[in-house]
C-alpha cells in the first residue's frame, strides 16, 4: 500500500459525458501528479500540482482539467469524453516534487468510455 | 516522439538466472533515471534510481547501469525470482531548474516473466 488513494477504481461512462477522478496523496506529500496509461502505452504525464498550485503541464488535453485543494487532495476532470479517453489514470504524490524524491503511485482509476 | 524507449515488450527468464532489462533515451537533458515495477491491478512502485553522475547503483538483487554516451541504461536482477514477474518501466527526469517541472517520462514497459 503506497498510501495514495484513488477513487473510483472503475468508471464506465458514455461519450460526451464528464467525469471526476479523485486522488488523496500520502500524508505529508505536497506534490501530486496525474498520469494516463492507454493500452500498450507507457505512462503519459498529464499535470503536476504542488501545494495547491499548478507546477507543470504535460500532454493534457484542453478537455481535461485538474486542481489541488487546500487539504492537498486532487481531482482530475475529464469532459466531452471520447472513446480514446479510455485508459488507466494514475495519481502519484511526492514530498516536494523534486526529481530525487520518489513518486508514490495510487492503484489507478480505470475509465471505460462506451 | 518517444524520449524513453524500452524496445523489448517482454522477457522470459528461468528462476535463478539473470534478468536484463534495457532502456534507451534521446533527451540529453535527462540526468536522473528510475525503474518502476508494476503488478496487475496495482500502481507502479519505485524500484531503484540512478543519477547521471554515477554509472552504477546497486540495491540488493537489483543493479542499474547507466551509459551516458550511449544514452542507455539497464536493470539487472540477480538472481531472478518468480515474484519478480511484473511489468518494469524505465523513467527519466531532468533536474535542471531551468527545465521546469520534474515530471517523469516513462517508457512503455517490459513484461518480465520468471519461470520456476
A99 → closest Cβ in B32, B45, B46: B32
d(CA B116, CA B78): 14
| pLDDT tens column, A13-46 | 999 999 999 999 999 999 999 999 988 778 899 9
What is the nearest CA distance from A74 to chain B, expressed in angstroms? 17
pLDDT confidence band for A101 (50 / 70 / 90): confident
Q: How confident is the model at residue B99, as a pLDDT?
A: 47
Per-residue pLDDT of chain B (116 residues; tens, 9 = 90+): 789 999 999 999 999 999 999 999 999 989 999 999 999 889 999 999 999 999 999 999 999 999 999 999 999 999 999 999 999 999 998 876 554 456 788 999 999 999 99
Residues of chain A with pLDDT > 90, as a percent, come to: 81
pLDDT confidence band for A59 (50 / 70 / 90): confident
Q: How confident is the model at residue B101, as a pLDDT?
A: 56
What is the nearest CA distance from A79 to chain B, expressed in angstroms? 24
Question: B43–A107: do the CB atoms touch at under 8 Å?
Answer: yes
d(CA B84, CA B112): 7
Number of Cβ within 10 Å of residue B55's Cβ equals 12
Which residues, 6 or more positions from A75, have their beta carbon under 8 angstroms from its beta carbon?
A: A20, A21, A22, A23, A66, A67, A69
For strand B105-106 and strand B45-51, is the pairing parallel, antiparallel, or unpaired?
A: unpaired
Q: In the beta sheet, which residues pair with residue B89?
A: B36
What is the nearest CA distance from A39 to chain B, expressed in angstroms? 10
pLDDT confidence band for A84 (50 / 70 / 90): very high
Q: How far is CA A33 from CA B30, B65, B87, B107, in A?
A: 19, 27, 21, 17
Return the C-alpha cell found at B97. 531548474
Q: How confident is the model at residue A20, as a pLDDT?
A: 98
Q: How confident is the model at residue A1, as a pLDDT?
A: 83
Question: A42–B95: do the CB atoms touch at under 8 Å?
Answer: no
Asked if A67 is an interface residue toward chain B (Cβ–Cβ < 8 A), one would say no
- State in Å, rounded, how far the first CA of chain B is from the last one: 38
Asked if B100 is an interface residue toward chain A (Cβ–Cβ < 8 A), one would say yes
B108 → closest Cβ in A42, A98, A102: A42
**Residue in B closest to A5 by C-alpha:** B43
SS3 content of chain A, % helix, strand, coil (to 5): 5, 50, 45
d(CA B75, CA B22): 7
Return the C-alpha cell found at B46. 519505485
**Closest-CA residue to A59 (of A81, A77, A25, A34):** A34
User: Is there a contact between A90 and A110 (Cβ–Cβ < 8 Å)?
Assistant: no
Asked if A26 is an interface residue toward chain B (Cβ–Cβ < 8 A), one would say no
Three-state secondary structure call for residue A83: helix
**Closest-CA residue to B4 (of B20, B34, B29, B24):** B24
What is the nearest CA distance from B18 to chain A, expressed in angstroms? 24
Q: How confident is the model at residue B85, as a pLDDT?
A: 97
Amino acid at each position: 500500500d503506497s498510501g495514495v488513494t484513488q477513487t473510483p477504481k472503475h468508471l464506465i461512462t458514455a461519450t460526451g459525458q464528464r467525469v471526476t477522478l479523485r486522488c488523496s496523496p500520502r500524508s505529508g506529500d505536497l506534490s501530486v501528479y496525474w498520469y494516463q496509461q492507454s493500452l500498450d502505452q507507457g505512462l503519459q504525464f498529464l499535470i503536476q500540482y504542488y501545494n495547491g498550485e499548478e507546477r507543470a503541464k504535460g500532454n493534457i488535453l484542453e478537455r481535461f482539467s485538474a486542481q489541488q485543494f487546500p487539504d492537498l487532495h486532487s481531482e482530475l476532470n475529464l469532459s466531452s469524453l471520447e472513446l480514446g479517453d479510455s485508459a488507466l489514470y494514475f495519481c502519484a504524490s511526492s514530498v516536494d516534487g523534486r526529481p530525487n524524491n520518489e513518486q508514490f503511485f495510487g492503484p489507478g482509476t480505470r475509465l471505460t468510455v462506451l | 516522439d518517444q524520449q524513453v524507449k524500452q524496445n523489448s515488450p517482454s522477457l522470459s527468464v528461468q528462476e535463478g538466472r539473470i534478468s536484463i532489462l534495457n532502456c534507451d533515451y534521446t533527451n540529453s537533458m535527462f540526468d536522473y533515471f528510475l525503474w518502476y515495477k508494476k503488478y496487475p491491478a496495482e500502481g507502479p512502485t519505485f524500484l531503484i534510481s540512478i543519477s547521471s553522475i554515477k554509472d552504477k547503483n546497486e540495491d540488493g538483487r537489483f543493479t542499474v547501469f547507466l551509459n551516458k554516451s550511449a544514452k542507455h541504461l539497464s536493470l539487472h536482477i540477480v538472481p531472478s525470482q518468480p515474484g519478480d514477474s511484473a511489468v518494469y518501466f524505465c523513467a527519466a527526469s531532468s533536474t535542471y531548474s531551468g527545465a521546469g517541472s520534474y515530471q517523469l517520462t516513462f517508457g512503455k514497459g517490459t513484461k518480465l516473466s520468471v519461470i520456476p
